[in-house]
Amino acid sequence: MLRNPSRRTFVKGLGAATTLTGLGLWRPLAQAAAGQHFELFIGLTPVNITGRPRTALTINNSLPGPLLRWREGDSVTLRVRNRLAQDTSIHWHGIILPANMDGVPGLSFAGIEPGGDYLYQFTLRQSGTYWYHSHSALQEQAGVYGAIVIEPREPEPHRYQRDHVLLFSDWSDQAPEQLMATLKKQSDAYNYHKRTVGDFIDEVADDGWRQTVAERTAWARMRMSPTDLADISAATYTYLLNGQPPEGNFTCLFQPGETVRLRLINASAMTYFDFRIPGLKLTVIAADGLPVTPVSVDELRIAVAETYDVLVTVGDLPAYTLFAQSMDRTGFARGTLARTAGLQAAVPVPDPRPVLSMDDMGHGGMAGMDHSNMAGMDHAAMPAMQQHPASETGNPLVDMQTMAPRPNLADPGIGLRNNGRRVLTYADLRSPYPDPDGRAPSRDIELHLTGHMERFAWSFDGIKFSDAEPLRLTYGERVRITLVNDTMMTHPIHLHGMWSDLEDEHGQFLVRKHTIDIPPGSRRSYRVSADALGRWAYHCHLLYHMETGMFREVRVDE
């Protein structure tokens, strides 16, 4: 563990940790800490987010942690001190750096023991919007996360008058370990929107008796619910914007006619957010920190761990609502874009609750089949259907398999289709440069995202992390990774240390990202250049999925 003193500046603005009277809400996002040398400490801080006193794990007594402002090309030094009673760590999400600086205990380093510290040092080879978080146990859920903004070395083509960071997260008054224990005992414990008899009557009226009964039977055989879109809902979560609940009305200021840059970060543990500003268009200019060809939309879905930068030209109204509803529509985070502090605009009613169909899960036209026996089906006799690895067959960790997955790149996603708004899709994202590598992949790797809902067990190819061999890459090679989602959940998959170059349906380069969203029933491919030696994490960024097995080591050797 590195302990030698180094030049550094202490992070400013730690007064953000002070709670206010009444609801005990956080003050606005912690003062940005700019420069090249930083000192961060991880410890315990009293909070009162819901009206009940609790203790959060925080960075420099702030929830979220301080906004770190860096500059492309600089070499940054961050000393992270541990004031907890257990080991901790910080991972710099999406930042390209040496493996021993990546902050993943057991792969990058041993972790930071209680009372210890670790010196992170790396040179910035990128610019844009990123974030950082603990990679130790479930600490991220308890508050160990923050935003990063890296200013570009060269001027950007975009012009704007203001720049605001909007960091979304989910908070529970229950300890993360309690949430995990509840999910292991009953995976749908937080789903308070199961289908009713009234729903059955409505479905018969819309789809007919035969189709409704067939689909209901298929769901029953799989022991799943089509309303189970999120493992954890507003039954326990409060959704936060820059650390404030909806009642806190986090406010960004503007003047009429200005163009405002909003840096959207989904730093939640388990929640997908659908973001919009009623009455204003969003021009998307960056995804996962990297520039994209600008595209104008009304709304966008931010998968867990993704970031998007958008430009908004503000109109003449005094205030506009920053609205981010959870994908399962059980709650929302919100704030206000306003001329002066204290103003508010109308808050939209959340959209209707989405319901998954068999087609959403890649079983189109197969609702009457016995999906509980899919792992034992003779796939060789069905060449038109998706093939599956032998490790899934008869596997108690696999409760379903998709049979006809599609890329679905132009699909807005469950709950966003035909809603009367222009919704961003992956098909809309275009990097403003050709394939950065240019080589055709030398080999293909196919991995299946697998799980068992009742057991709340998650894995790749039906093999949980503790039983899996590393995925081995040779330094310098270019590989294609294809992910097939064999579950009913949406999974944001993050590869550390290397970029993921998403392909379109024809295998052509589309956009470079660090986190690739894989909806149920989808099959998506991307290319990776193995240009970073070392041991790297590769996992679902839904925290409780990662912790229960949807995690692999990627090892890049010479």
pLDDT, position 16: 34
With contact defined as beta carbons under 8 Å apart, do 249 and 218 qualify? no
Q: What are phi and psi of 500, to 5 degrees?
A: -115, 115
**Predicted confidence band of residue 307 (pLDDT cuts 50, 70, 90):** very high
Does residue 244 surpass a pLDDT of 80? Answer: yes
* Integer angstrom CA distances of residue 98 from 101, 120, 476: 5, 10, 15
**CB-CB neighbours of 353 under 10 Å:** 14
With contact defined as beta carbons under 8 Å apart, do 553 and 452 qualify? no
CATH code linked to domain 9-155: 2.60.40.420
**Predicted confidence band of residue 109 (pLDDT cuts 50, 70, 90):** very high
pLDDT, position 195: 47
Does residue 212 surpass a pLDDT of 60? Answer: no
Q: Which tokens hold the place of 332?
A: 């929302």
**Predicted confidence band of residue 191 (pLDDT cuts 50, 70, 90):** confident
Any residues with CB less than 8 A from the CB of 106 and at least 6 apart, and which? none
Angle formed by the axes of helices 209-222 and 197-207, nearest 10°: 130
DSSP at 331: -
Does residue 162 surpass a pLDDT of 90? Answer: yes
- Which amino acid does the sequence have at 9? T
- Could you give the CA distance from residue 234 to residue 124 in angstroms, rounded to a whole number? 38
Portion of the chain with pLDDT greater than 90, in percent: 80
Given this chain, do its domains 157-191+227-345 and 354-558 carry the same CATH topology?
yes
Mean predicted confidence (pLDDT) in 127-152: 98
- For 354-558, CATH number out of 2.30.30.240, 2.60.40.420, 3.40.640.10, 1.20.1440.230 equals 2.60.40.420
- Which amino acid does the sequence have at 384? A
Q: Which tokens hold the place of 545?
A: 């999925």
Burial call 406-429: b when 16+ CB within 10 Å, e when fewer: bbbbebbbbbbeeeeebbbbbbbb
Does residue 233 surpass a pLDDT of 50? Answer: yes
Q: Which of 356, 396, 370, 364 is nearest to 519 (CA)?
A: 356
- Could you give the CA distance from residue 343 to residue 355 in angstroms, rounded to a whole number? 35
- Could you give the CA distance from residue 496 to residue 93 in angstroms, rounded to a whole number? 8
332-383, pLDDT tens digit by residue? 999 999 999 999 999 999 999 888 877 776 665 433 333 333 443 333 333 3
The rounded Cα 2 to chain-centroid distance in angstroms is: 31
Mean pLDDT (the chain, rounded): 88
Q: Which tokens hold the place of 411?
A: 């699909």
Does residue 199 surpass a pLDDT of 80? Answer: no
Q: Higher-confidence residue: 198 or 543?
A: 543
Does residue 444 surpass a pLDDT of 50? Answer: yes
Beta-strand pair 332-338/250-253 = parallel
506-518, pLDDT tens digit by residue? 999 999 999 999 9
pLDDT, position 514: 98
**Predicted confidence band of residue 5 (pLDDT cuts 50, 70, 90):** very low
- Could you give the CA distance from residue 182 to residue 32 in angstroms, rounded to a whole number? 37
| Pick from 79-88, 223-232, 309-318, 389-398: least confident | 223-232
Q: Where are the domains of the chain?
A: 9-155, 157-191+227-345, 354-558
- Could you give the CA distance from residue 202 to residue 59 in angstroms, rounded to a whole number? 49
**Predicted confidence band of residue 213 (pLDDT cuts 50, 70, 90):** low
- Could you give the CA distance from residue 403 to residue 17 in angstroms, rounded to a whole number? 50
37-94, pLDDT tens digit by residue? 999 999 999 999 999 999 999 999 999 999 999 999 999 999 999 999 999 999 999 9
Instruction: Please enumerate, as own/partner, the contacts of 433-438 that have beta carbons within 8 Å and a separation of 24 or more.
Output: 434/509, 435/501, 435/509, 435/527, 436/499, 436/501, 436/512, 436/529, 437/478, 437/501, 437/527, 437/529
Collapsing DSSP states into helix, strand and coil, what is residue 553?
Answer: strand
**Predicted confidence band of residue 439 (pLDDT cuts 50, 70, 90):** very high
**Predicted confidence band of residue 408 (pLDDT cuts 50, 70, 90):** very high
Q: Higher-confidence residue: 278 or 378?
A: 278
Does residue 247 surpass a pLDDT of 80? Answer: yes
Does residue 15 surpass a pLDDT of 60? Answer: no
pLDDT, position 290: 98
290-302, pLDDT tens digit by residue? 999 999 999 999 9
471-491, pLDDT tens digit by residue? 999 999 999 999 999 999 999
Portion of the chain with pLDDT greater than 70, in percent: 83
β strands within 94-209, DSSP E: 117-123, 128-133, 145-151, 162-172
Q: What are phi and psi of 236, to 5 degrees?
A: -130, -25
Collapsing DSSP states into helix, strand and coil, what is residue 209?
Answer: helix
CATH superfamily of 157-191+227-345: Cupredoxins -  blue copper proteins (2.60.40.420)
